[in-house]
Amino acid sequence: MDRNTLIGLILIFAILGGSFYLMKPSESEIKQEQRLQDSLKRVKEGLPPVADTTKNPAKTAVNTNQVDSAELKKPFGAAKYGEEKIITLQNEKIIAKITSKGGRVKSVELKNEKNFDGSPLILFDGNNNRFGLMFNAAGQNISTNNLNFQTTDADVSVSKGDSKTVKFRLSYNDAQYIEYTYTLKGDDYNLGLDVNAVGLQNLIPQDQKTILLDWGAVLYQKEKNIKGERDKSSIYYKTAENNVDHLKESGDDDDQLDKRLTWIAFKQHYFSSILTSKTGFASADLDVKTAAEADIVKLYSAKAKLDFSNQKDNQYSFNFFFGPNKYNILKAQNDGSNSIINMGWGPMRWINQWITVPVFNFLDGFHMSYGIVILILTILLKGVLFPLTYKSYQSMAKMRVLKPQLDEIKAKVGEDNAVLLQQEQMKLYKQAGVNPLGGCLPLVLQMPFTIAFFYFFPNLFELRGESFLWVKDLSTYDSPITFPAIFGIDHVSLMCVLMTLTTLLTTWYNNATSGATGQMKYIGYFMPLIFFFVLNSFPAGLNYYYFLGAVFTFLTQLLIRSFVDDDKILAKIEENKKRPESEKKKSSFQSKMEEMMRQQQAQKNKK
């Protein structure tokens, strides 16, 4: 290929790449087109269009001339009519709007948080949410979510150390009613709700021992990567036996739980709405679905049964938590809700809970950039694991200097007689005092730490919205290069590219120093490329950690290589060969391999 041809190809690729970049639609245009297609799809299926709850709905007043006199005679009939009134409760953390329609929480805004696009972060928003009691009264099915409560209270602002309440009442008559009392403290993510059902035992059938609490929500996109957000969003719950479980996060799921629950959580990736009952839920039907609309994360539904007494008035004490999935904040709730943060399973979860989180919190106390915190965390981890790394490198060096002798054995015995080849190789290992797995075991012991960080960083709330170098948000992927989607990929993460290139460099160096040949030589190159496509959409904070890990691994190997002398290792091995067999200490691996080979030889002799 001559120079002119090469320049021409470069220019062609540059023009194509530039046109893709300049002509690609904006995020808003993509979402608008997606909403249009979704609406057309729903029309074709005979479904009504989804209400746009991203805009502030206007208050709707009912024309009293349209009141049905027959409806007024039914239980709570008058409550079906009236004008919606909204009371605002706010403190340093949240702004909660309570609507008289259902007496429910209509929306909650977190004051100190923003969506990925800079707009206010609202956990609940609009009329697609529901919360209310469902029961049968005088032969009529009642849902308080659709009825108008009365209130004489006004907007409330609560300062630190203070506490204020507002009340909403749904009346059947003066002696029979349902009253909601909301309590908000200053500087808190919790909103208390006390429900007082007075005289309902005279309306509800005597054989009814429970009433139903119906809670549902449509939760909208808050993170840049909505696919990643969906994959980490679901319903979590805690049983009376203190077990925390959840519906699957990767797709639609539902479950009928015939057990008592302490709390139910509508969890998104970095935020949750948790409903706790002091007396517990007798049972619950939970359901989570992924919506077709592009900006909806998931649809949540929880129908929980509450104990009901026909002998007296019934009181229920609930608590809403509206806040971030931040480990320390949820742990301070003292109800096990911190378990909704996925820290991994088994040893990985223990490492994150008892080692990673405390160390991270300690470093976070110095108020450094989180990029620097991750750097220090990586250095500390590599320092702790250095003895294992050094031992692994020594074992690999022993195998490297033995390779010529192993090749001679293979040439002498041949590869057809596998049993004899193993015996001769084990004989050499025994004479040299070398464990062929000595280089692998230290690496295996390091794997739980590597996997633990795979769970830790993608679920670390502290990284959300934090910038470092060119990365605008460490909690999501960096995308300096974007293009129309090809096989589902529409961007290239520079941090992931750096991680991949550094890993390939380390692989090349390992192959050069170990003398790897055959398939093993090339497998090491394929794995980083596979991980590039896997991790390209993962948080930049995770790829940054893996990049640092690869850099320090490469530098550590250079350092160890500088003072590990292969000639001395070989001389020590030759010296060990001359020692009497009685003085040589067998490793457990060698003992097991010898026993296995004896069994194989015995079976062969029987044949």
SS (H, E, C) 419-467: HHHHHHHHHHHHHHCCCCCCCCHHHHHHHHHHHHHHHHHHHCHHHCCCC
Q: For residue 257, list its beta bridge partners.
A: 284
Burial class (CB in 10 A: 0-12, 13-18, 19+), 135: buried
Residue 46 lies in a domain: no
Angle formed by the axes of helices 540-563 and 519-535, nearest 10° = 150
Q: Are residues 198 and 298 in the same domain?
A: yes
- Do 91 and 135 sit in the same domain of this protein? yes
Task: Kindly state the tokens that stand for 196.
Answer: 């007082």
**What pLDDT shows up at residue 80?**
83
| Type of residue found at 127 | N
Q: Please report where in the chains the tokens 């990029």 appear, as a residue.
A: 371
Within 8 A by CB and 6+ apart from 567, the residues are: none
**Same domain membership, residue 435 and residue 394:** yes
The identity of residue 23, as a single letter, is M
Structure tokens at 86: 């909204």
**Predicted local distance difference test score (pLDDT) of residue 57:** 37
* Cα 221 from Cα 415, distance rounded (Å): 59
Smallest CA-to-CA distance from 232 within 263, 287, 271 is with 271
**Residue 372, token pair as written in the block:** 């620097």
Q: Give the end of a domain, one of 294, 310, 340.
A: 340
Q: Residue 122's beta-bridge partner residues?
A: 109
Closest CA to 531 of 514, 515, 518, 549: 549
Half-sphere exposure at residue 392, Cβ-oriented, CA atoms within 13 angstroms: 16
Whether 328 and 367 share a structural domain: no
Helix 540-563 and helix 370-413, axial crossing angle in degrees, nearest 10: 50
Q: Please identify, among 340, 371, 388, the residue that sits at the C-terminal boundary of a domain.
A: 340
Which residues have a Cβ under 8 Å from the Cβ of 331 and sit 6 or more positions away?
A: 338
Distance CA 1, CA 221 (A): 50
The three state secondary structure string of 370-434 is: HHHHHHHHHHHHHHHHHHHHHHHHHHHHHHHHHHHHHHHHHHHHCCCCHHHHHHHHHHHHHHHCC
Q: What are the tens digits of pLDDT across the range 492-548?
A: 999 999 999 998 888 887 777 665 566 666 777 788 888 888 888 899 999 999 999
- Same domain for 375 and 233: no
Sign of CA dihedral 143, 258, 217, 262: positive
In this structure, is residue 599 part of a structural domain?
no
76 inside domain? no
Please report the pLDDT score of residue 126 as a whole number: 76
* pLDDT at position 151: 92
Q: Is 97 inside any structural domain?
A: yes
Specify whether the CB–CB gap between 478 and 493 falls below 8 A. Answer: yes
Question: Which of helix, strand or coil describes residue 138?
Answer: coil
The whole domain housing 332 covers 84-340
Q: What Cα–Cα distance (Å) separates residue 528 from each residue in 382, 396, 536?
A: 20, 21, 12
Who's near 258: CB < 8 A, 6+ residues apart?
Answer: 283
Quick check: is 605 in a domain? Answer: no
User: Tell me, what's the pLDDT at 484?
Assistant: 85
Provide the domain count of the chain: 2
Q: CATH number for the domain including 117?
A: 2.70.98.90
Claim to verify: residue 372 and residue 263 sit in the same structural domain = no
Query: Residue 394: its pLDDT value, please?
Result: 73
Do 334 and 365 lie in one domain? The reply is: no
CB 17 within 8 A of CB 479: no
Encoding tokens for residue 206?
């005597």
Whether residue 470 sits in one domain with residue 547: yes
Residue where a domain stops, chosen among 316, 340, 364 = 340
| H-run or E-run covering 210 | strand 210-220
User: Count of CB atoms within 10 A of residue 350's CB?
Assistant: 15
Same domain, 306 and 421: no
Cβ proximity of 325 and 267 under 8 Å: yes
Q: Looking at residue 526, what is its pLDDT?
A: 80
Q: Token pair of 229, please?
A: 């957000």
Which pLDDT score is estimated for 60?
A: 38
Three-state secondary structure readout of 216-285: EEEEECCCCCHHHHHCCCEEEEEECCCCEEECCCCCCEEEEECCCEEEEEEECCCEEEEEEEEEEECEEE
Looking at the DSSP bridge assignments, the partners of residue 315 are 196
197 and 277 assigned to the same domain: yes
Query: With a threshold of 0.85, does the pTM exceed it?
Result: no
Task: Give residue 559's Cα distance to chain centre.
Answer: 37
Please indicate, yes or no, whether residues 206 and 317 belong to a single structural domain of this protein: yes
- Assigned domain for 114 exists: yes
- The Cα 549–Cα 382 span in angstroms is 8
State whether 242 and 364 are in the same domain: no
Structure tokens at 547: 């990049």
Assess if residue 73 is contained within a domain: no
Q: Is 38 within a domain?
A: no
Nearest CA to 491 out of 224, 116, 118 is that of 224
DSSP state of 353: I
Residue 552 tokens, joined:
């320090």
> Under 8 Å CB-to-CB from 172, ≥6 apart: which residues?
75, 76, 137, 199, 203
What single letter denotes the amino acid at residue 59?
Answer: K
Low-confidence ranges of the chain (pLDDT < 70): 1-73, 414-417, 428, 430-443, 513-521, 563-570, 572-607
- Diameter of the chain measured on Cα atoms: 109
Cα–Cα distance between 280 and 278 in angstroms, integer? Answer: 6
